[in-house]
Structure formats: C-alpha cells, structure tokens
Amino acid sequence: MDLWYKEQHTKDVQFSIRVEKQLFTARSEFQRIDVFYSEEFGRFMSLDGLMMVTEKDEFIYHEMIVHVPMAVNPAIQNVLVVGGGDGGAVRELVRYDGIQKIDLVEIDQMVVDTCRKYLPQTACKLDDPRVSIFYENGLRFVRSCENKYDLIIVDSTDPFGPGEGLFTKEFYGNCYHALTKDGILVNQHETPYYQDYARSMQLAHQRIQTFFPICKVYQFHMPTYPSGHWLFGFASKTYDPIEHLDAERWNALGLKTRYYNTELHRGCFALPNYVKDLLEGNDGQ
C-alpha cells in the first residue's frame, strides 16, 4: 500500500512525502492538526494540510529565527514568541543563559499539546522555568504590552487562516509599541518565489517599514516549505543586523549549531535581485 502526504504549493505544483503511518489527527477550535511519520523526514506536523515542522529540517528554521537576532544583541533578556507552538524557537532561546524570561503566545493549545506528545524534539524545553505559555490570540496579547520585550519572534503560520492577524499593520504597530528602545522584531516572512506568497511577503515588508527605521530581510533554505526558499524579516529600532553583529561575543558562547554560523549571518542578508525588486514594491520580473 502506498500512503502519501500531498500538499499543493500552488494550484499547479504539488509536493508529496511517502508516509509510513499517521500518528494523530484532530480538529481544534482553530484548525485541523495532523502528525505523520515518514522514513525520509521523521515525524512531521501539518496544520490545515500545510507543512509546519518536520524532525529532519526544523533545525534550519529554528536556528535562523533565533540566532540571527541573538548574535546582533546578545544582551537580550526578555523575549516574546508569538505562534511557535511546536516549541522549536523556545528550545533555541533557552540555550542563552542571559535570557531571563520567554513568553510564548500560541492561540491553539491543541498544537502545543500535540507537539509535547508527538514532537518532543521541538517541544522539549517548554517546561523551562523561564518559559510562560499563554493560550491567546497574539494580536490581543501584544496590544496591552508596552516597552516590555527586547525581542519579539513571530513564528506564525501563513497569513490565510488563524495566522492572518499576525501579518497586519495593527499587529506590527502593536509590536513596535511592545518593544524596548533597542527592540528587535523577527518575523516569518513567507517565500518570494510563488506569487501568492510573494504578495504576502511584500505586504508584510511594507507594513513593517512604516514603523521600524531598520528593516531587512534574510533568507534560508527550507526543504519542506513551498519552493524551499524562505525568508525571515529583521526589523529593529536601533540595531543593524550586519553592522551590529557581535560575532566574537556570539562565538565565545560556544553554542553548537547545525545551520547557523556568523559567516552565514552576514551572507543571508545578501538577496537575489528579484527578491530585492519585490521588496522595493516592484513585481520582480
């Protein structure tokens, strides 16, 4: 018997993984949650039929969303993670002794519960004493925060479905307000390659630019996401991600990573021309 997980990356492009078995399926108040096991990718979780995290490549995503801002400002103490219910970003954050407090705001408790049970590889540090989990709408949580966090990580789903509010102007404005004067915002920034995603990417960039003086985008390679070419946004009030990279200090921490290093840090902000074009508001053709 052949069992395949299939996902439409566009209406004409399909991505599939042969599945050994399905480990879990349920519908939460917000979305459908599935966990599968595959020979190639290990365990993986999809939300509403879209790939979120696999055991084989999640390290790329989570290292890049955490270590880039942490290497720019290793003095970060208070961190907010919006989304990220799989716990992967938190796992990377707790490796920093300097971090005192991590608030994780995930709208869907069933995602966290599912990951604790089926994906301990990412969820393993959710019980760290510095971590507080809030099962709330991220937009609502951030609205009432002021001058509170040194770093906000937006580890969201795509902007169609429960994650929609995390790509809006009101959310970025609220984040600006919630950050300290040296605050950094890193956000899941979609892919430039396929048109629908590229449009979300452009809008997110435009909206973030209206609030933050420094607004850059960096790229990484994510094999199980549409096109494999994925972006994060880096926005901040004072720190430039390259100029203020404190490579020596970060390397002195001695953190062992599989994807991130400080040379890659400099390189990942160098973007292909069509991506630069898109970010400048052109059509990238």
| Residues noted as catalytic | 155
Options 7, 48, 113, 164; binder of other proteins; rule CB under 8 A: 164
Select the residue interacting with other proteins from 81, 126, 139, 235 (CB under 8 A).
Answer: 139
Instruction: State in angstroms the smallest separation of the CB of 4 from other proteins.
Output: 31
138 or 241: CB nearest other proteins: 138
Nearer of residues 24 and 160 to other proteins, judged by Cβ: 160
Of 58-66, 93-101, 132-140, 269-277, which part binds other proteins (CB under 8 A)? 132-140
**Cβ burial, residue 155 (10 Å; 0-12/13-18/19+):** buried
Asked if 89 and 113 count as a contact pair (C-beta separation under 8 A), the reply is: no
State which H helix or E strand residue 279 sits in.
helix 273-279
Q: How far is the CB of 112 from other proteins (least distance, A)?
A: 19
Residue 139 Cβ vs other proteins, minimum distance, rounded to whole Å: 5
- The nearer residue to other proteins, 69 or 159, going by C-beta atoms, is 159
Residue type, 181: K
Tell me which stretch binds other proteins (CB under 8 A): 71-79, 138-146, 213-221, 250-258: 138-146
Is 140 a residue that touches other proteins (CB under 8 A)? Answer: yes
Please work out, in degrees rounded to the nearest 5, the angle formed at the alpha carbon of residue 65 by the alpha carbons of 62 and 67. 90
30 vs 220, which CB is nearer to other proteins? 30
Residues 169-228 that bind other proteins (CB under 8 A): 169-171, 173-174, 177
Q: How many residues bind other proteins (CB under 8 A)?
A: 16
Nearest in space to 58 (alpha carbons), one of 81, 47, 42, 74: 42
d(CA 157, CA 51) in angstroms, rounded, equals: 10
**Helices 169-178 & 195-209 angle (0-180, nearest 10):** 40
11 versus 256: smaller Cβ distance to other proteins: 11
Q: Which two tokens stand for residue 71?
A: 């290497």
Place of tokens 């020979």: 39
Alpha helices in the chain (DSSP H): 58-72, 88-93, 109-118, 120-123, 138-143, 169-178, 195-209, 247-252, 262-267, 273-279
Q: Which of 137, 180, 209, 257 binds other proteins (CB under 8 A)?
A: 137
Neighbours of 252 (CB within 10 A): 10
Question: What is the contact surface with other proteins in residues (CB under 8 A)?
Answer: 137, 139-140, 142-144, 162, 164-165, 168-171, 173-174, 177
